[in-house]
Each structure stands twice: as C-alpha cells, then as structure tokens.
Amino acid sequence: MSNEQNVNPLDEYFNGKFPKQPQSPPGLQKEMDPVPDCGEATYKGNDQLKGKRILVTGGDSGIGRAAAIAYAREGADVAIVYLPEEQPDADEVKKLIEAENQKAVLLPGDLRSEDFSKEIVEKTVSELGGLDVLALVAGKQQSTSNIEDITTEQLTSTFETNIYSMFWTIQAALPHLSEGASIITTSSIQGYSPSENLLDYASTKFAIRGFTIALAKQLAPKGIRVNSIAPGPIWTALQVTGGQPQDSIPEFGKETPLKRAGQPAELAHQYVYLASEKSNYVTGEISGITGGLPLG
C-alpha cells in the first residue's frame, strides 16, 4: 500500500532535459531556465540555529544561497560573499534573509584576493557581533577537454578560489571562533570520481577532502568541528557558465541512479545539520549528496 504523503525522489524536482543556455561566468541564477530551486518557497525552519552568526561564501546563488536561506529561517544572522557581477542575485537573498527578521550582510568581492578573503571575516564580526559558523561554498569550475588547454591563469584562478581562499578565510576566522563553532567546506563527487574535462577543478576537490580531515584533527582540541559536503550534479549557475560543455547541459544529472540533477534546496538541511549542535559528535566527515553516485 502506498503512502500518499511519500514523495518519489525521481520526480520531486525537474527531471526533464535542460535547454542549452550559455552565460558568461560568473552568471546569474535568476536568468537560468529553469531557475534553480534554493528552497525559497519550501524551506521551513524551527530555530535550530537561533542566535548564530554565519558567514557563507558563494551565498548569492546555488548551494550557498540555499544554505543562507535555510540559516536565516533557522534563526541565524547571515553574511554572504559573492562577486560584484552577482549583485542582482545577492539582493534577492538579502530580502529573503530580512523577511525572516534576521540581519543580512552583503560582502561583494573576489576571494582570489588574500586581503578580501580575510576582510570578509572582520566585516562579518563587526556587523554581526561575532562569528559562529563558516560555510565555505564558493567555487570556480571550467570545463576543459585537454590538459594542454588549461592556462596558467585558469589553473591559478581555480586554486585561488577553491583552495587558497579557504586557508585565508579560516586563518582570519580562528581568533573569533569559540568552542562549539563549526566550519563547513564544500567538496564534490569530483573529489572521488573525477571527470576528464574537469582536471583542475577535480584536483581542488580532492584537496578539500584532505584539508577538511586534517583541519578537523587540528581543531578538535579547541572544540571546533570541521566537516564537508560533497554534492553530485547540482543545477546551479556554475554549470551553465562553462562548468559543463553546452552539449552536456540537456542531459545534466541523468547519469545518476535517480536520473536527474539535484537542486540546491536538497542540500540545505545538511548545511544546517553540520552547523547545529545536533552534529556535535561529527567532525572530519565528508557527506555525499549525489543522487546515488557513490563516494569512493
């Protein structure tokens, strides 16, 4: 006997063919078709993070946006980091956070800058009165079929965005983090099963795994937890701005056992869980949300 309240994961979200839709990076989520679902209309909170002060990188769109919305609906004040070109998306997130009577801090800039990566921490602490959780989601991904075509500029930019900025931001944050604080990094299925066209990106995601596990061991004596989330194919602006070849966009996500791409909203609860006291015995873990693609 079926339960009418059960939801079939195969068709809970969009499972058709995505139209090809090239955008120049970093792109705008609001111009995508379909627009990614970040939980704007569906996420319901219950004060799991009441009083927390949270900094989210990449918080204007995609997974970071879903996390920021969820954090606000769980009672947290939220600062979001994004590129200046992404201002229209960031303005929408600010309104969504403030609709929950939570404080929103907008931090436009480029995480490839060491000064900016550290400055965002100081601005967050100044505006929110402290810092309890770091959710490091921002990333750069560009599909390149041949290693010979990966320029030094692309290689440097990808590593600065995905790896260097984490070191810089956490270095600045540690003096402000007390016992019970949480750091959440974002790895990927690419950190386990890399695609041949994402050589530089996959390399950074393997690095994030090692970074997370080592830092968790280092900070455990201070009562600070460090964990990571490894998404599979998630429908975000990253994909349509060169993260995938345009010819691959229509079938994006169909290779998973669940036969569809994931939506950012489907990761929000895990970002909340790892930020909350419910995960106080969890550190050094990588949580896969991949539509059935195995980690390892």
H or E element at residue 67 = helix 62-73
d(CA 220, CA 228): 15
Confirm if 27 and 245 have CB atoms less than 8 A apart: no
Element (H, E) at 82: strand 77-82
Tokens of 39: 């939980």
Active site residues: 201
Cis peptide before 221 (omega within 30 of 0): no
Tokens at 60, concatenated: 């204007």
Contact 188/231 with Cβ under 8 angstroms? yes
Distance of CA 252 to the CA centre of its chain: 19
